[in-house]
């Protein structure tokens, strides 16, 4: 029987970039067997892992522009932003190197009661086992770094299943990891269909499962995990931002378009819902629209493109339907509201969509920002907290006391004060609450998740 094929297309033009063979069930099983055998054989010494990762950072840096162009072509991220992603990826590798020195146990006091007297105890940290990572399309290199490199750094064999539309970055990264000196089998790429992906994830040989993608798929796979398999899930959110009457309007307006339209809004922490004082809502929506309407939408590989395409034509269809619904249900269209072509949609600003409209209740994952007027700030907080998704939020205010009070009331894993929900550095904890995720991401946090404590007690 001929192997299934995976066709990788240029995100904007549809040109075929690669034709890859997909792995079948037997090949997936073989990957797991190889990984499990390596785990049983004992992990690589820390000094070897450090050397490999240091070399990897050099190799990725040497291909900086090639990776950026690959990100732009397969994933549709504008080339200027793609270059930033590559720089972040290199930094992420170096963060992991620094974190390796923190892999250490500790002494456990034994003389706290008479029963422990005469004993000495300490803990050591051991690799949890085989790591399986299922990744997303929107940051095809940096997400691979966040899921694969912590495993390499902690001595865990890892199998990554990249998004089917953006596998090329992961494939190139894994080749460079091997070139850097990691022995064969410690990192593998699985190109699989949905059925074989589920078999891979739910196999009892898996010690840790890392998932980035939709809540529906993430929670389903978590429910199917073998007993004892740990996991971390990173889903989406609607990134509410509250603008207080005491905030600096000019500083806010200049950045909110980038924070909502970056990568055409296809980011889990893109600003989607903006709450502003009711008496200034129309004026501020127009100012945001004035900037949004000037954004250049085009092929991501072009230097002048501010926004690239949506990842698939069906996403353009969905966004078009959601915006049309919002307008029919009472939203005022300030700018945009039309598809440009099969995979592109105009940067769109909506004023006061209905609370029940999909753009108000679902993650849009498109170049749409919704502006809502509020009378008192507690109403804005209530609306920001009203959904079952919760990731990063933001409050803009020059009143420090008020800003801190709002930050404490917002239901979010992180609250930015006078900065946007898109802010992130790769060593900070990064996580969703409620339906938005499970566990904590960030290079060092992921490394700790991939380790187990073992306690050793001696008598005498």
**Positions marked active-site:** 234, 268
458 phi and psi angles, rounded to 5 deg: -115, 145
For residue 300, give both structure tokens. Answer: 């991501």
Q: Give the Å distances, CA to CA, from 243 to 87, 201, 203, 375, 385.
A: 31, 42, 47, 12, 15
For residue 280, give both structure tokens. Answer: 């200034």
Q: How far apart are CA 354 and CA 94, in angstroms?
A: 46
Burial class (CB in 10 A: 0-12, 13-18, 19+), 182: buried
Q: How far apart are CA 158 and CA 156, in angstroms?
A: 6
Contact present, 82 and 139 (Cβ < 8 Å): no
Q: How far apart are CA 129 and CA 334, in angstroms?
A: 53
Residue ranges with strand state E in 128-216: 130-134, 158-161, 187-189, 206-212
List Cβ neighbours of 394 (8 Å cut-off, separation of 6 or more).
239, 240, 241, 242, 271, 415, 416, 417, 419, 420, 421
Which residue carries 């063979």 as its tokens?
21
Q: How far apart are CA 311 and CA 11, in angstroms?
A: 6
Question: What one-character-per-residue DSSP string does 412-428 give?
Answer: SSEEEESS-TT---TTS
Q: How far apart are CA 245 and CA 403, in angstroms?
A: 11
């Amino acid at each position: 029987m001929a192997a299934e094929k995976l066709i990788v297309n240029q995100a904007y033009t549809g040109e075929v970039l690669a034709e890859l063979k997909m792995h079948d069930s037997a090949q997936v099983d073989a990957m797991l067997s190889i990984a499990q055998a390596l785990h049983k054989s004992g992990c690589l010494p820390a000094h070897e892992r450090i050397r490999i990762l240091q070399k990897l950072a050099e190799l990725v840096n040497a291909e900086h522009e090639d990776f950026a162009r690959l990100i732009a072509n397969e994933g549709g991220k504008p080339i200027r932003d793609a270059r930033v992603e590559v720089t972040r990826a290199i930094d992420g590798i170096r963060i992991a190197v620094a974190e390796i020195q923190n892999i250490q146990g500790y002494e456990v006091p034994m003389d706290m009661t008479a029963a422990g007297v005469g004993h000495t105890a300490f803990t050591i940290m051991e690799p949890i086992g085989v790591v399986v990572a299922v990744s997303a399309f929107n940051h095809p290199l940096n997400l691979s770094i966040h899921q694969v490199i912590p495993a390499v750094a902690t001595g865990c064999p890892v199998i990554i299943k990249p998004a089917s539309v953006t596998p090329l970055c992961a494939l190139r990264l894994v080749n460079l990891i091997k070139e850097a000196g990691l022995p064969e089998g410690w990192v593998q790429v699985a190109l699989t269909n949905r059925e074989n992906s589920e078999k891979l994830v739910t196999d009892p040989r898996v010690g840790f499962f890392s998932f980035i993608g939709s809540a529906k798929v993430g929670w389903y796979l978590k429910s199917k995990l073998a007993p004892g398999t740990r996991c971390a899930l990173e889903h989406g959110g609607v990134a509410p931002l509250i603008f207080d009457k005491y905030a600096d309007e000019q500083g806010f307006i200049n950045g909110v378009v980038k924070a909502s339209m970056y990568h055409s809004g296809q980011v889990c922490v893109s600003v989607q819902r903006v709450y502003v004082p009711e008496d200034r809502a129309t004026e501020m929506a127009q100012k945001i629209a004035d900037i949004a309407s000037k954004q250049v939408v085009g092929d991501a590989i072009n230097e002048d493109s501010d926004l690239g395409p949506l990842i698939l034509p069906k996403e353009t269809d969905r966004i078009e339907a959601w915006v049309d619904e919002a307008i029919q249900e009472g939203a005022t269209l300030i700018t945009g509201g039309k598809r440009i072509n099969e995979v592109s949609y105009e940067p769109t600003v909506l004023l006061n969509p209905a609370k029940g409209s999909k753009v108000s209740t679902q993650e849009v994952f498109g170049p749409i920002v919704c502006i809502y007027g509020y009378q008192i700030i507690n109403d804005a907080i209530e609306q920001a907290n009203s959904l079952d998704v919760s990731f990063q939020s933001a409050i803009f205010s020059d009143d420090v006391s008020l800003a801190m009070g709002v930050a404490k009331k917002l239901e979010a894993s992180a609250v930015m004060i006078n900065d946007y929900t898109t802010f992130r550095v790769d060593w900070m904890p990064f996580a969703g609450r409620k339906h938005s995720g499970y566990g904590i991401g960030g290079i060092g946090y992921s490394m700790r998740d991939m380790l187990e404590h073992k306690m050793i007690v001696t008598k005498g």
